[in-house]
């Protein structure tokens, strides 16, 4: 992903951060972490309280492998280390939400398939995957989650709508945590095709 698409992702992340910071429930409960994945896996934003987040600029190489499986393994490791589970002595974290955005297919298919049960065992509140552009395969992402958004175009408008939907989903989840519908998502914008 390069050029306008990656610029649109950076603008979308800024919009997401701005929208979440306007929500008092999100300010009390949301921590963000951002991983990038290509030939290298980078945690460009370690888990940070929403009020303290300074977004890095996301950049990617012009081409190369997409190590989605390796990224999921590293993400799982981070969640296992950083998540505070509730007990009789302490209040635990809310269930995390995973938002996965890719414009390609996993180069490490075996690692990807092996990481799926690990990710599912971590009991995420929601897992949303976005297949952006013509090279992304929503069917591969459906192995990880039923909530797969397909963007036919990777322009500023498409990413803006996706990130608006994500911020509404996160805000709704932070408000309704503990309620029976805490893992339901609002419907996506009409212009984004949900593949189920």
Confidence of residue 191 (pLDDT cuts 50, 70, 90): very low
The CATH number given to 2-174+183-193 is 3.40.50.410
Least confident of 63-77, 85-99, 145-159, 173-187: 173-187
Q: Structure tokens of 24?
A: 């008092």
Least confident of 6-20, 122-136, 150-164, 171-185: 171-185
User: At what angle are helices 109-121 and 68-82 packed, to 10 degrees?
Assistant: 20
**Contacting residues for 16 by C-beta, under 8 A, at least 6 apart:** 163, 166, 167, 170
Q: Structure tokens of 1?
A: 């992903």
Q: What is the pLDDT of residue 56?
A: 92
Domain ranges, ordered by start, for the chain = 2-174+183-193
pLDDT of 180 over the 50 cut: no
Give one DSSP letter per residue of the chain, joined into a string. Answer: --SHHHHHHHHHHHHHHHHHHT-HHHHHH-EEEEEEESSSEEEEEEEEEGGG--PPPP---SS----HHHHHHHHHHHHHHHPPPP-SSSPPPPPPEEEEEESS--S-HHHHHHHHHHHHHT--SEEEEEEESTT--HHHHTTT-SEEEEES--SHHHHHHHHHHHHHHHHHHHHHTTSTTTT--PPPPTTSEEE-
pLDDT of 174 over the 50 cut: yes
Q: How far apart are CA 27 and CA 109, in angstroms?
A: 37
99-154 pLDDT, tens digit per residue, is: 999 988 999 999 999 999 999 999 888 898 988 888 889 999 999 999 898 888 77
Rounded to two decimals, the pTM is 0.80
């Amino acid at each position: 992903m390069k050029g306008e698409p990656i610029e649109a992702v950076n603008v979308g992340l800024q919009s997401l951060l701005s929208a979440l910071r306007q929500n008092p429930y999100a300010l009390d409960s949301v921590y963000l972490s951002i991983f990038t994945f290509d030939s290298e896996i980078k945690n460009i934003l370690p888990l940070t309280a929403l009020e303290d987040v300074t977004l890095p600029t996301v950049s990617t190489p012009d081409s190369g492998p997409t190590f989605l499986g390796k990224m999921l393994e590293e993400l799982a490791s981070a969640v296992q280390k950083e998540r505070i589970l509730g007990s009789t002595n302490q209040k635990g974290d809310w269930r995390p939400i995973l938002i996965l955005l890719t414009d390609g297919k996993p180069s490490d298919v075996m690692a990807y398939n092996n990481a799926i049960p690990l990710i599912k065992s971590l009991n995420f509140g929601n897992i949303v995957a976005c297949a952006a552009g013509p090279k992304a395969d929503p069917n591969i992402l459906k192995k990880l989650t039923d909530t797969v958004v397909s963007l036919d175009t990777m322009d500023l408008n498409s990413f803006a709508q996706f990130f608006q939907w994500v911020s509404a989903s996160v805000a709704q989840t932070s408000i309704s945590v503990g309620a029976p519908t805490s893992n339901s998502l609002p419907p996506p914008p009409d212009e984004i095709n949900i593949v189920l």
